[in-house]
């Protein structure tokens, strides 16, 4: 009975990775799924609080890697989808082309501009409602006015070609709003104050609230002024021009979500993987010919590989050795080799690769609009608001 119970427990907690297929991939949420085995499968908030853990293993300006333990795969996938599609950012939505004599068509160039990540905190801005005027609270305005020309040298000969490569640093932020002349019906924007002043007010309010709560305020964009707006990267090539060609335009950014258009997605990509585990089945080691075969196939392919090792066999003859798992998670080099070996006759009863259904390694790579750790915090807020919305309708 204990052996059967242990087997059921393994099926409940892990996916078994076989050579041809993965087994026990489903997660059973029904509280009585294991009632016949005396296992209560109902959700317990107390158990969740006791078992839930998070640990950051790597973080820099562009990427954060962390482990999350004690959650359902559904919750892990919810975070992934929210990060991709529901954490808002600011992106170029309208492009007003004044003059474009380059070889790139207006609509193609507008698409290229739309995909440029904008360094602006979306939490300080509002969504633009239908029919609402463009103002400092819902719109960011950039202008571009660049002309390609050839400089003349002192002796009158042809000099170098200037502005032949147009980069994102040509986009200049207009804190006072649009500079285009208004049309007969309305103005392009109706700013009531400088956007720089508006951002300073909002940032000061956020800093005061954080100080009152005893929280440490860290610069969102490092050494960059939080009250100034720019593109995340100033060296993205937008187009090439020859002498005499020029581009003059205004670009208006609004707040949006990735589910509406990918340009609003705040991540380059984000993914998670289940934590793997390599284990020997009958005992915690392999000996004899099995040990030699295993080390040859799964460890000795690289001299620097050391996920498995030779050890003195407990209770064995003097000098008798066995193979034990040194790193139960394995590595990218050996996990696939172990999984393939499990497909050989008899080996599926000796070794196996398991993947936890409740322990995940998350990777979040930001596109630059917000730091990766801030992105995940915002994803948690979005998920919490969804839960609150469900509770309010019950």
Contact 62, 374 (CB under 8 A): no
Lookup: tokens for 367: 């596109």
In-domain check, residue 74: yes
Residue 328 burial (CB count, 10 A): 13
> Residue 75: is its pLDDT beyond 70?
yes
Lookup: tokens for 267: 């991540």
DSSP-derived letter for residue 133 is: P
Using DSSP's 3-state secondary structure scheme, residue 150 falls into strand
In-domain check, residue 318: yes
Are residues 42 and 20 part of one domain? yes
Contact 97, 106 (CB under 8 A): yes
In-domain check, residue 393: no
Are residues 9 and 143 part of one domain? no
Are residues 253 and 337 part of one domain? no
Claim: this prediction has a pTM higher than 0.85: yes
In-domain check, residue 172: yes
**Per-residue exposure over 371-388, b if at least 16 CB sit within 10 Å of its own CB, e if not:** bbebbbebbeebbeeeee
> Residue 239: is its pLDDT beyond 90?
yes
pLDDT at residue 169, as a whole number? 96
Backbone region of residue 216 per phi and psi (left: phi > 0; alpha: psi in -120 to 50; beta: other values): beta
Structural domains in the chain (count)? 2
Q: Residue 207 phi/psi, 5° resolution? A: -65, -40
Confidence of residue 1 (pLDDT cuts 50, 70, 90): very low
Let me know the angle formed at the C-alpha of 81 by 77 and 83, rounded to the nearest 5 degrees.
115
What is the arithmetic mean of pLDDT over 42-62? 92
What is the arithmetic mean of pLDDT over 192-206? 92
pLDDT at residue 184, as a whole number? 62
Q: What pLDDT digit, counting tens, does each position of 326-384 carry?
A: 988 888 888 889 999 998 998 988 999 999 999 999 999 999 999 999 999 999 999 99
Distance separating alpha carbons of residues 262 and 14, to the nearest angstrom: 34
What is the arithmetic mean of pLDDT over 289-302? 88
Are residues 152 and 102 part of one domain? yes
- Listed in sequence order, the residues at least 6 apart from 119 whose beta carbon sits closer than 8 Å to its beta carbon are 221, 224, 229, 230, 231, 232, 368, 369
Contact 86, 257 (CB under 8 A): yes
Confidence of residue 2 (pLDDT cuts 50, 70, 90): very low
> Residue 324: is its pLDDT beyond 60?
yes
Distance separating alpha carbons of residues 221 and 368, to the nearest angstrom: 9
Mean pLDDT of the residues in the chain: 90
Are residues 256 and 281 part of one domain? no
Closest among 56, 72, 116 to 377, alpha carbons compared: 56
Q: What pLDDT digit, counting tens, does each position of 244-264 carry?
A: 999 999 999 999 999 999 999
pLDDT at residue 134, as a whole number? 93
Q: Which domain does 16 fall in, by range?
A: 2-83+271-363
In-domain check, residue 369: no
In-domain check, residue 298: yes
What's the CATH code of the domain at 137? 2.170.120.12
Q: What pLDDT digit, counting tens, does each position of 60-70 carry?
A: 999 999 999 99
Confidence of residue 185 (pLDDT cuts 50, 70, 90): low
């Amino acid at each position: 009975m204990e052996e059967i119970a242990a087997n059921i427990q393994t099926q409940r907690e892990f996916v078994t990775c076989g050579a041809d297929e993965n087994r026990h991939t489903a997660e059973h949420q029904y509280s009585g799924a294991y009632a016949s085995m005396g296992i209560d499968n109902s959700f317990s908030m107390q158990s969740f609080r006791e078992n839930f853990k998070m640990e950051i293993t790597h973080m820099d300006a562009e990427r954060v890697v962390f482990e999350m333990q004690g959650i359902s795969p559904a919750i892990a996938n919810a975070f992934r989808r929210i990060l991709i599609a529901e954490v808002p950012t600011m992106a170029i939505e309208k492009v007003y082309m004044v003059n474009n004599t380059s070889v790139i068509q207006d609509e193609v160039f507008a698409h290229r501009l739309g995909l440029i990540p904008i360094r602006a905190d979306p939490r300080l801005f509002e969504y633009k409602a239908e029919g609402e005027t463009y103002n400092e609270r819902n719109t960011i305005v950039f202008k571009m006015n660049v002309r390609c020309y050839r400089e003349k040298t002192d002796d009158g000969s042809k000099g170098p070609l200037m502005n032949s490569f147009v980069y994102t640093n040509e986009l200049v932020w207009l804190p006072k709003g649009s500079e285009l002349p208004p049309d007969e019906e309305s103005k392009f924007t109706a700013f009531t104050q400088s956007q720089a002043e508006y951002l300073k007010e909002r940032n000061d309010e956020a800093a005061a609230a954080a100080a009152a709560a005893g929280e440490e305020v860290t610069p969102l964009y490092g050494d960059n002024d939080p009250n100034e707006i720019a593109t995340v990267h100033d060296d993205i090539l937008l187009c090439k021009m020859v002498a005499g060609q020029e581009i003059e335009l205004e670009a208006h950014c609004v707040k949006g979500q990735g589910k509406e258009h990918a340009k609003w997605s705040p991540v380059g990509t984000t993914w998670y993987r289940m934590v793997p585990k390599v284990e020997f089945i009958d005992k915690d080691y392999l000996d004899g010919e099995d040990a030699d075969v295993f080390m040859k196939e799964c460890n000795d392919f690289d001299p620097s590989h050391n996920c498995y090792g030779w050890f003195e066999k407990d209770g064995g003859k003097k000098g008798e050795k066995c193979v034990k798992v040194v790193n139960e998670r394995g590595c990218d080099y050996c996990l696939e080799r172990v999984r393939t070996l499990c497909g050989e006759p008899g080996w599926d009863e000796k070794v196996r690769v398991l993947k936890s259904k409740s322990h995940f390694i998350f990777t979040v790579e930001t596109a630059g609009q917000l730091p990766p750790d801030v992105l995940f915090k915002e994803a948690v807020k979005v998920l919490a608001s969804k839960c609150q919305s469900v509770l309010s309708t019950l």
